[in-house]
Chain A
């Protein structure tokens, strides 16, 4: 009888803990949403901060930086994941590389920011810019992305490789035509989840992408112009950095409202990423196992 009671008790305890965590998150997000909701308006999203409340340029900068970061980090992460999980499997080199990746993933992002500041901004004279920020975020993103892609590849049965090779198909073709497509749903959710982290990152960007958001001209496609939205060498304050700056400097009567509104936009965007990740990987999974 006692054993059943224990089981019941443990189950109750676990559900209580899970419930408490969910309630905590709900209260936390709900509070932020309620606080910031009144600030959100069409003009909040579509005007520059120089002209008042708006966060148009910060929102764009965040997305632009994210895209550049993913363009830089995805090929590297994919390559290292393939090297570690398929070619170098169980090798000494892979063990050392994996340790390095784990160490890098626990590096505080402010350290990456300061490192990027010294190396990119000062030494390479790139200045506070989208490019410096994207490279710093690549350092920040690589370990996590490599790990999640490795994990996605590792879920593909090993038999695929032996089967492919035994049919007289090269290792490379087996990887690109069989293993990677099968790992795709996992990779997509890994990419999008890491995108959420990158999107919300502030510390690594304060000294690399900078804290100013020059007013951008969205019709100027000349990437060499200082006010072109595509110029990778201009400073680019992001949403997360904007929140930090508004709160530390606290300039203007609307600082609090701006900060709260920006938080709402940031949270909602990350939420959208997560939902997208789920949708996309579910859909791909269905497509593969039709």
Chain B
């Protein structure tokens, strides 16, 4: 068996909103430079789990997270962790594109500006590199000063991805990034993710089975707040161990 290095590891992660526990202990590792898909029906806890991985659950009131989550062997919920810096290393793209009402250029470079980047040339380089990586450079290179909100949904989503990439993250989390997009825009995003795999560890939440099977190396199936099973994507899709997984894949519920 080949030992793969893990970028993120989790152990018995539980999440409660107020009194209600919506994630009942998930243990899952995320191998470096692989795409992991979290799939399951709505309300199964996959987005909740994803939001633990960069501590964006902290923004919601009344959320308690327990269990262990380690990023490069460091407990991310530890007392000495700089949450702001952590979120630069573990970036996140949301279901709805979330560009700021700035120009495309300023959107991409925003996080770098906030940590004190003023060098014009360096900023130009980062913007171009990030937009190229997000596969949108050719479409926007002549109108970088236009408002990012004037772009189409698919373009906005890739600009948001570029904004995350500009922070030079290790891990990219994506919360159903294509469910608000048309098939052509979705295909572009998927292609982009596949090309990013060599440099980043990617975790994508999706309830699109085809998408999970097309792009991911590892797939985890969640149901009602529990991890049902996780394995290589091929194994999950061809020979699932659990009846629930098989039923979900065959469209018996969803």
Interface residues on A, range: 20 to 34
Decide if B61 touches A90 in the complex (CB within 8 Å). Answer: yes
B99, chain A: closest CB distance, angstroms: 8
Decide if B85 touches A168 in the complex (CB within 8 Å). Answer: yes
State A165–B164 Cα separation when bound (angstroms).
11
Decide if A169 touches B100 in the complex (CB within 8 Å). Answer: no
Whether A166 sits at the interface, judged by CB under 8 Å, is: yes
Name which of A63-71, A107-115, A170-178 contacts chain B: A170-178
Decide if A162 touches B147 in the complex (CB within 8 Å). Answer: no
Decide if B147 touches A168 in the complex (CB within 8 Å). Answer: no
Interfacial residues of chain B within 92-117, with CB under 8 A of chain A in the complex:
92-94, 96, 98-101, 110-111, 114
**Max chain A CB contacts within 10 Å: which of B54, B61, B110, B163?**
B110
Chain A residues contacting B167 (CB-CB under 8 Å) are: 167-168
Residue of B nearest to A159 (CB): B98
Chain B residues contacting A177 (CB-CB under 8 Å) are: 110, 114
State A160–B148 Cα separation when bound (angstroms).
14
Whether B129 sits at the interface, judged by CB under 8 Å, is: no
Contact count A vs B, C-beta below 8 Å:
65
State A90–B59 Cα separation when bound (angstroms).
12
Residue of B nearest to A163 (CB): B98
Interfacial residues of chain B within 140-178, with CB under 8 A of chain A in the complex:
147, 149, 160, 163-164, 167
Whether B208 sits at the interface, judged by CB under 8 Å, is: no
Residue of A nearest to B96 (CB): A159
Residue of B nearest to A158 (CB): B59
Decide if B91 touches A168 in the complex (CB within 8 Å). Answer: yes
A9, chain B: closest CB distance, angstroms: 43
Chain B residues contacting A201 (CB-CB under 8 Å) are: none
Decide if A168 touches B87 in the complex (CB within 8 Å). Answer: yes
Interface residues on B, range: 20 to 34
Whether A123 sits at the interface, judged by CB under 8 Å, is: no
Chain A residues contacting B91 (CB-CB under 8 Å) are: 166-168
Whether A42 sits at the interface, judged by CB under 8 Å, is: no
State A131–B91 Cα separation when bound (angstroms).
51
> Are A173 and B94 CB-contacts (below 8 A) given A162-B59, A165-B59, A290-B147?
no
Chain B residues contacting A253 (CB-CB under 8 Å) are: none
A156, chain B: closest CB distance, angstroms: 9
> Are A160 and B59 CB-contacts (below 8 A) given A166-B91, A167-B111?
no
Interfacial residues of chain A within 21-53, with CB under 8 A of chain B in the complex:
none
CB contact between B87 and one of A160, A166, A173, A290 (< 8 Å): that residue: A166
A residues near B, CB below 8 A? 89-91, 159-170, 173, 177-178, 182, 288-290
Apart from A163-B160, A168-B111: 20 A-B pairs, beta carbons within 8 A = A89-B61, A159-B98, A163-B98, A163-B99, A165-B56, A165-B59, A165-B84, A165-B87, A166-B91, A166-B92, A167-B87, A167-B111, A167-B163, A168-B85, A168-B87, A168-B91, A178-B100, A288-B101, A289-B101, A289-B149
A-B pairs, top 10 by smallest CB distance, nearest first, are: A168-B88, A163-B98, A166-B92, A167-B111, A168-B87, A159-B98, A173-B114, A169-B114, A170-B84, A169-B111
27 contacts between A and B (CB under 8 A): A90-B61, A159-B94, A162-B56, A162-B98, A163-B100, A163-B160, A164-B100, A164-B110, A165-B56, A165-B84, A165-B87, A166-B56, A166-B92, A166-B164, A167-B91, A167-B163, A167-B164, A167-B167, A168-B91, A169-B84, A169-B110, A169-B114, A170-B84, A177-B110, A182-B101, A288-B101, A289-B149
